[in-house]
């Protein structure tokens, strides 16, 4: 049996130290630890995919907490089934000892408890993700109601710029004169001209 550790943080500036320390305490060799700095929204992560290629029946995969495996309810369950049933490896979640599939070797009750806890925790992880989205949407709605504008700030034009554009539109100056006064290339000139024609 080989013991592997899998660690994950969502962003490159976040630290893996806490998870790696937990693996060291458990006695997992450094060469058997795989770590990603990527969102948990799916399992298309380089190191995680490398890990799956190494895992064999009878091996043990250790993770510090369930959300380090992933954050999507359905996907966590699918990965859990792939590892424990298709590959035949075991999983241990360090901060939730009930989530230890090695218990199943002794009794069906142990397997039932591990699967039940996984279902509940996976649901909570997905529920939290949906709550975060709902809070973000509500925050955006309230900000818009207060007049906060999102996206690029609207470009403001000087009085001279507007005067040249107006003169060109009224055919009082040529395109060549307008380009010279504004020091613009033709493509940029037409881009700004189009913006000025858009309703505000």
- Tell me which residues are annotated as active site: 10
Alpha carbons 4 and 61: distance in angstroms, whole number: 5
């Amino acid at each position: 049996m080989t013991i592997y550790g899998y660690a994950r943080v969502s962003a490159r500036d976040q630290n893996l130290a806490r998870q790696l320390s937990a693996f060291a305490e458990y006695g997992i060799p450094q060469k058997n630890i795989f770590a990603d700095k990527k969102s948990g929204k799916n399992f298309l992560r380089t190191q995680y995919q490398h890990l799956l290629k190494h895992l064999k029946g009878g091996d043990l995969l250790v993770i510090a907490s369930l959300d380090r495996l992933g954050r999507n309810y359905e996907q966590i369950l699918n990965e859990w089934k792939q590892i424990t049933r298709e590959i035949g490896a075991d999983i241990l979640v360090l901060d939730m000892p009930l989530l230890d599939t090695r218990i199943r070797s002794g009794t069906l009750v142990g397997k039932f408890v591990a699967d039940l806890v996984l279902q509940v925790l996976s649901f909570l992880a997905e529920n939290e993700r949906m709550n975060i989205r709902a809070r973000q949407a509500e925050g955006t709605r309230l900000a818009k109601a207060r007049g906060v504008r999102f996206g690029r700030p609207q470009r403001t034009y000087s009085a001279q710029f507007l005067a040249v554009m107006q003169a060109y539109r009224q055919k009082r100056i040529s395109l060549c004169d307008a380009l010279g006064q504004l020091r613009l290339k033709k493509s940029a000139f037409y881009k700004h001209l189009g913006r000025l024609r858009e309703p505000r």
